[in-house]
């Protein structure tokens, strides 16, 4: 190992230290889930997500609202408050639908597979961001397919899965800027 190898190691260490200093100096704290939350952000508020979709699943509003609270609570060090959090999430469930995904072979007009889709409109406000650049109002949609057209035996599990997917999307958009 000659001087070139030692210089490469020194350069690598120097770059790592510089990068560490830059990241540390940006005023952002990183969580283990890949999200970045401003270091002065301490609290969050999730307001009730009303279901205004034409088709209603009775517990969807409560399930989504609690799912988003849980996602933030378990993936960040933020404390939940009932109002006026540093980060505020609010919105509505705008679509809950079941549509055919594929039709059975043989000329029978019956769905071989169907698709359950949930769409949520979310408004995120970072009350610490005076520029408002990190705020957003966006729509998030996820779907899952299931066999046949009768959702009854699958609906609760599908909703749980879709809520996990949607809350991950919202969390990542708010805190990971993806």
Report how far residue 178's alpha carbon sits from residue 172's, in angstroms, rounded to the nearest whole number: 6
Report the pLDDT value the prediction gives residue 23, as an integer from 0 to 100: 38
Q: Please compute, for residue 74, the number of CA atoms within 13 A of its CA located in the half-sphere on the CB side.
A: 9
Report the pLDDT value the prediction gives residue 71, as an integer from 0 to 100: 98
Report the pLDDT value the prediction gives residue 176, as an integer from 0 to 100: 86
Report how far residue 60's alpha carbon sits from residue 119's, in angstroms, rounded to the nearest whole number: 11
Report the pLDDT value the prediction gives residue 139, as an integer from 0 to 100: 98
| Angle at which helices 60-75 and 155-175 cross, to 10° | 50
Report how far residue 178's alpha carbon sits from residue 174's, in angstroms, rounded to the nearest whole number: 8
Report how far residue 119's alpha carbon sits from residue 125's, in angstroms, rounded to the nearest whole number: 20
> In tens digits, what is the pLDDT along the chain, a chain of 178 residues?
555 544 544 444 443 434 343 333 333 333 344 457 888 999 999 999 999 999 999 999 999 999 999 999 999 999 999 999 999 999 999 999 999 887 666 655 666 899 999 999 999 999 999 999 999 999 999 999 999 888 899 999 999 999 999 999 999 999 986 5
Report the pLDDT value the prediction gives residue 106, as an integer from 0 to 100: 60
Q: Please compute, for residue 130, the number of CA atoms within 13 A of its CA located in the half-sphere on the CB side.
A: 0
């Amino acid at each position: 190992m000659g001087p070139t190898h030692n210089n490469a190691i020194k350069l690598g260490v120097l770059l790592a230290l510089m990068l560490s200093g830059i990241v540390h100096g940006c005023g952002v704290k990183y969580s283990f889930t890949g999200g970045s939350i401003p270091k002065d952000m301490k609290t969050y508020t999730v307001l009730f997500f009303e279901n205004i979709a034409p088709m209603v699943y009775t517990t969807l509003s409560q399930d989504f609202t609690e799912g988003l609270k849980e996602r933030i609570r378990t993936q960040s060090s933020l404390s939940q408050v009932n109002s006026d959090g540093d980060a505020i999430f609010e919105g509505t469930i705008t679509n809950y639908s079941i549509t055919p995904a594929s039709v059975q072979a043989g000329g029978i007009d019956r769905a071989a597979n169907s698709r359950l889709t949930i769409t949520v409109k979310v408004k995120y406000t970072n009350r610490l961001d005076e520029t408002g650049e990190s705020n957003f109002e966006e729509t998030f949609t996820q779907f899952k397919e299931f066999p046949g057209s009768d959702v009854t035996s699958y609906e609760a599990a599908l909703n749980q899965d879709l809520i996990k997917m949607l809350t991950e999307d919202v969390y990542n958009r708010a805190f990971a800027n993806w």
